């Protein structure tokens, strides 16, 4: 399997003899979850109904009767799209296949954001790399205009070979980032401790493919190879169980007939907690809560409380 082969790209200390067996067990569980998610999300709707192409002069396209969306980047311009709806809490899934081959210098961003100087934002960003080197998945959370909460990960598969599901569960208790149903990060609501949490500003979904070769790959040392352009990322099977926001009020959707959607109170169960520990132990490559050079006067408050 290509996801097993991809493990050889990770630093050796990630896969030492003491955790190889546990890693293999978890990878089997993750693969099963991946297959389940592909089957479940396959019933999602028409991308024409959910998104507008917002920029790119024809470099973004919705194809196959609304079943596929592609973004392209060349030396002149990238491209992007935005959701027709705004959301205030939800469980939002998108299947993405990233730029294959030499993707150095490119960034594929997929995120929720409100507007204004005190905006809230929940980020997935995929930092491209040279052929054979792993993508970096960059995550961040902004509250009231303040971010600087970066966590970065390698993935346990090659995200350019096939579509994979990237999910955000955002409810009043927490924000959970997941990949193929496996949670990789949680940002808890710690308002009682004085830490802002996104809960009052409706957010749109945005995605863009753009040139960031001044910083994206090895701090900007590796530039985009424009002879390989156009670079293309693909999207399908968008699914939102969410509260849509319109004219100052929200309407919440659910996969069941209950009046209160299950995702609105969903949290990590024991299995989810074990999986997030496994991901962070084996695949996390940067955590702002451990960056002593960046925070010499002490880490942000949520680092000790979470």
pTM to 2 decimal places:
0.84
Per-residue confidence at 18, pLDDT binned at 50, 70, 90? very low
Residue 1 pLDDT more than 90? no
Under 8 Å between Cβ of 208 and 301: no
pLDDT at 24 over 70: no
- Domains of the chain, first to last: 47-247+262-304 (2.60.120.200)
How many residues does the structure list for the chain? 306
Average pLDDT for residues 54-74, to the nearest whole number? 97
Contacts of 256 (CB under 8 A, 6+ apart): 262
Q: How far apart are the two ends of the chain, measured CA to CA in Å? A: 35
> Per-residue pLDDT for 39 more than 50?
no
Helix (H, G, I), strand (E, B) or coil at 158: coil
72-131 pLDDT, tens digit per residue, is 999 999 999 999 999 999 999 999 999 999 999 999 999 999 999 999 999 999 999 988
pLDDT band at 15 (very low <50, low <70, confident <90, very high): very low
The C-alpha atoms of residue 88 and residue 112 are separated, in whole angstroms, by 10
What pLDDT score does 32 carry? 46
Where in the sequence numbering do the catalytic residues fall? 121, 125
Residues with Cβ < 8 Å from 43, sequence gap 6 or more? 239
Residue 11 near residue 31 (C-beta atoms within 8 A): no
Q: Say which DSSP state 143 is in.
A: B
Residue with structure tokens 């030492």? 16
pLDDT of residue 233: 98
pLDDT in tens, 144-159: 999 999 999 999 999 9
Average pLDDT over residues 209-224: 85
Among 5-14, 140-149, 156-165, the minimum mean pLDDT is found in 5-14
In which element (H, E) is residue 305 found? helix 301-305
Is pLDDT at 36 greater than 80 in this prediction?
no
For 50, residues 6+ apart whose C-beta sits below 8 A from its C-beta are 83, 84, 85, 238, 240
Per-residue confidence at 258, pLDDT binned at 50, 70, 90?
A: low
> Given a cut of 90, is residue 143 above it in pLDDT?
yes
Considering the chain, what percentage of its residues have pLDDT values greater than 70? 83
Averaged confidence pLDDT in the chain: 87
For the chain, percent of residues with pLDDT exceeding 90: 74
What is the greatest pairwise CA distance in the chain?
Answer: 57
């Amino acid at each position: 399997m290509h996801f097993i082969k991809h493990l050889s790209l990770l630093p050796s200390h990630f896969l030492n003899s003491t955790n190889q067996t546990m890693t293999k067990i978890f990878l089997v569980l993750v693969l099963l979850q991946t297959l389940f998610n592909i089957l479940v999300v396959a019933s999602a709707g028409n991308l024409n109904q959910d998104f507008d192409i917002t920029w790119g002069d024809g470099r973004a396209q919705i194809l196959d009767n609304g079943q596929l969306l592609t973004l392209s980047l060349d030396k002149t311009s990238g491209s992007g799209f935005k959701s027709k709806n705004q959301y205030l809490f939800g469980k939002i899934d998108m299947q993405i296949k990233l730029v294959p081959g030499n993707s150095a210098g490119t960034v594929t961003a997929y995120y929720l954001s409100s507007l204004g100087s005190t905006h809230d934002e929940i980020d997935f960003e995929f930092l491209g790399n040279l052929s054979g080197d792993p993508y970096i998945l960059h995550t961040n959370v902004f509250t009231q205009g303040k971010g600087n909460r970066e966590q970065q990960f390698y993935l346990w598969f090659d995200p350019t070979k096939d579509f994979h599901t990237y999910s955000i569960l955002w409810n009043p208790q927490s924000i959970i980032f997941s990949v193929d149903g496996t949670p990789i990060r949680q940002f808890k609501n710690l308002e009682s401790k004085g830490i802002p949490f996104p809960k009052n500003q409706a957010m749109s979904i945005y995605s863009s493919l753009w040139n960031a070769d001044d910083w994206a790959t090895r701090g900007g040392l590796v530039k985009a190879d424009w002879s390989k352009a156009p670079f293309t990322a693909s999207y399908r099977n968008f699914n939102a169980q969410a509260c849509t926001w319109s004219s100052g009020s929200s309407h919440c959707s659910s996969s069941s007939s209950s009046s209160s959607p299950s995702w609105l109170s969903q949290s990590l169960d024991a299995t989810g907690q074990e999986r997030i520990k496994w991901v962070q132990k084996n695949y996390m490559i940067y955590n702002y809560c451990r960056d002593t050079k960046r925070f010499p006067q002490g880490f942000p408050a949520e680092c000790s409380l979470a």
